[in-house]
Amino acid sequence: MTTPASGKPDSRAPLSRERVFEAAVAYADEHGIEELSMRKLGQDLGVEAMSLYYHVSNKDEILDGMVGHVVAQIEIQPVDDDWKAGMRRQIMAARQVMARHPWAIGVLETRKTMSPSIMRYFDTVSGLFRQAGFSVDLMHHAMHALGSRVLGFSQELFDDSGDDQPPMDDAVVRHLQEGYPNIAAIVEEIQHQEATIVGSGCDDDIEFRFALDILLDGLERHRDLEQERAG
């Protein structure tokens, strides 16, 4: 389907499932997923809300289609001899797509079914492991280990990535030092840290890459050990 330069669906195009999903994605990008409703989506498409039910059964089906539409935007990266670099490129390509549609992460976490585009993407990533010499068993464990990182995001214990957070005052730091000395050490290090081999501060992208590299290094060791035992 053709989308005008404005990013909004062409209201002159005939209504279809794909057009409904594309319009829903555009609406969530502009207004947020919380604002999405069948009535508002119908208005955006220039049709009555009831007309949508000829193409989708309910809002859950729209949400499934939306995340499928987003995942289909992830470009498959070229494969070369360095499987870790290739896997890293693939996962970071997924992360770039999720950054364009930040609402999609929360929706993905609630889905009980996978659309064909998500299945195709997982199949492609699994294939990268097989091409790198991973057995089917180890490939299975690798996909579990990476989890949502395959799609470019990970669940954090808490949100500490605010760019505008002021430094903690002395009273708060003293309270941490007295009750939680190890946490206090982390906070003080972050506030006064220069660039390190990992990065500086507490940046989501830096932490994501750091954890991804650790996982890929560990998976490579398991692959090499498996091949040694088989050889």
Q: Which residue ranges make up each domain of the chain? A: 83-149+200-230
Among candidate residues 167, 174, 152, the one with its CA nearest the CA of residue 201:
167
**42 pLDDT more than 50:** yes
**pLDDT higher at 9 or 203:** 203
pLDDT grade for 218, boundaries at 50, 70 and 90: very high
Q: Give the whole-angstrom CA distance, residue 72 versus residue 74.
A: 6
Average pLDDT over residues 181-191: 76
Q: Which pLDDT belongs to residue 207?
A: 86
Of the listed ranges 24-28, 182-186, 205-209, the least confidently predicted one is: 182-186
Residues 6+ apart with CB under 8 A from 93: 74, 75, 77, 152
Whole-number Cα distances in Å, 140 to 136, 137, 153, 188, 216: 6, 5, 19, 40, 14
Q: Residues 62, 21: contact at Cβ < 8 Å?
A: yes
pLDDT grade for 69, boundaries at 50, 70 and 90: very high
Average per-residue pLDDT for the chain = 86
Average pLDDT over residues 193-222: 80
Quickly tell me which residue has 């670099």 as its tokens: 85
State pTM to two decimals.
Answer: 0.80
Model pLDDT for residues 102-160, shown as the tens digit of each residue = 999 999 999 888 889 999 999 999 999 999 999 999 999 999 999 999 999 987 665 55
Q: Give the whole-angstrom CA distance, residue 77 versus residue 104.
A: 21
